Amino acid sequence: MPEIERLPENKNALFGKYELGRILGCGAFAKVYFARNVQNGQSVAIKVINKKKICGTGLMSNIKREITIMSRLHHPNIVRLHEVLATKTKIYFVMEFVKGGELFAKISKGRFSEDLSRKYFQQLISAVGYCHSRGVFHRDLKPENLLLDENGNLKVSDFGLSAVKDQNRHDGLLHTLCGTPAYVAPEILAKQGYDGAKVDVWSCGVILFVLTAGYLPFNDPNLIAMYKKIYKGEYRCPRWMSPDLRRFLSRLLDTNPETRITIDEILRDPWFRKGYKEVKFHEEHFGSSSWMKFDEAEKMTNLSAFDIISFSSGLNLSGLFDDPDSTAEESDRFVLAAPPDKLMERVEEIAKVEKLVVKRKKECGVELEGQEDNFGITVVVYRFTESLVLVEAQWRGRDGVNLWKNRLKPQLCAATSQETDSQVACD
């Protein structure tokens, strides 16, 4: 059993209230623990976010958004946020404990029957429709973010910063650490802007396909090839799918967001309505604005899977889909297939050749300066998936932009491409 973090001032109880237990999941920036409320015996899950680890990553905006959203959602099929606590170094999300674990774990063992898939899908749509009616769009729906309670009911989780289980899976199905591009709608890839409700519906369609087929509808070891399949809507239904389900999936996975089925239309569809019972509940209104205050000076950069794909120039998707690309005047973002530590080593090697002064910036990036401090370049690396990273560069001074665009970035991309057979582009 992994070692459990505990606060020194209370041997077993966090804030004198919660007794931490086993680790349920962990990722680069957060750990999720099982815990018990010592005052009433209630079981909860507590997400512990280390402020030091997210310093400089721009993820504070995700945390703020998750608190705001989850504190205002109360639905039987959505994980409930009980309260948020904080110390100088950590943030604690106290959430409903969902005993059954991830839906991902179950589907990894094999596909579901059509009836069971329909049950889960009905609950998913109930939760998603509820969110949409309140102006909330999840944008990262996938089996890893869907939990099951002890009664087998689905619960939507992770409205912001995800807690990712630190497990290696070798079954060839849905491998992901921080959100897989396989669930991204085609309009995201085309960089045309997107309707949050429509992209959620697309993701729900991919989830339904996975539940009934046991594998992803759009998959390819080459990222760009997979994006092409998504953009063109190229998938095949297995022979065991019923004609009604195939028809329904074609409406969900319609590449045209304007004609894609809506939530209201889903609720009226014959395949969906079979055995459907509308979820009825008494909604409680509660807020979180007084729970805690964050440092407003924190840099805000949204790093959801959708935003990385939408704004990253490195995938060079504009060439595939005839959409003009754009890059901010003082910053640049692109995706590379390389381990973060190796990539940072390469940055430092290139900087040394270019005779730049290197100042390490914690674990996530480096600051580079000219010999006379007349220009500077900051390079930060974020893990996107198990094999991909997002590189973000910012600069000051004319020499800084020239050095980055004409020498540092081309050398970095060329050096990285020599070490991998990935065809992820670099502009």
Is residue 227 within 8 Å of residue 317, measured between CB atoms? yes
User: Is position 140 annotated as part of the catalytic site?
Assistant: yes
For 82-86, 134-138, 167-171, which range has the lowest pLDDT when averaged over its residues? Answer: 167-171
pTM: 0.63
List 115, 140, 171, 341, catalytic entry: 140
**Please, are residues 141 and 188 in contact by the beta-carbon 8 Å criterion?**
no
Q: How many C-beta neighbours within 10 Å does residue 267 have?
A: 15
Question: Which candidate, 393, 385, 394, places its Cα nearest to that of 424?
Answer: 385
Residue 110 clears pLDDT 60, i.e. is over it = yes
Q: What is the pLDDT of residue 180?
A: 59
Of 153 and 158, which is predicted with more confidence?
153
Question: Is 2 exposed, middle or buried (CB count within 10 Å of its CB: 0-12, 13-18, 19+)?
Answer: exposed
273-323 pLDDT, tens per residue?
Answer: 999 988 776 655 433 333 333 332 232 233 344 444 444 433 333 333 333
Both tokens of 409, joined, read 């970035």
Structural domains of the chain, with CATH: 13-96 (3.30.200.20), 103-158+177-273 (1.10.510.10), 325-419 (3.30.310.80)
Task: Tell me which DSSP letter residue 33 carries.
Answer: E
Instruction: Give the three-state DSSP class for 14.
Output: strand
Residue 239 has pLDDT above 90, yes or no: yes
The stretch 131-152 carries a mean pLDDT of 87
Q: E-assigned strands of 112-207?
A: 146-148, 154-156
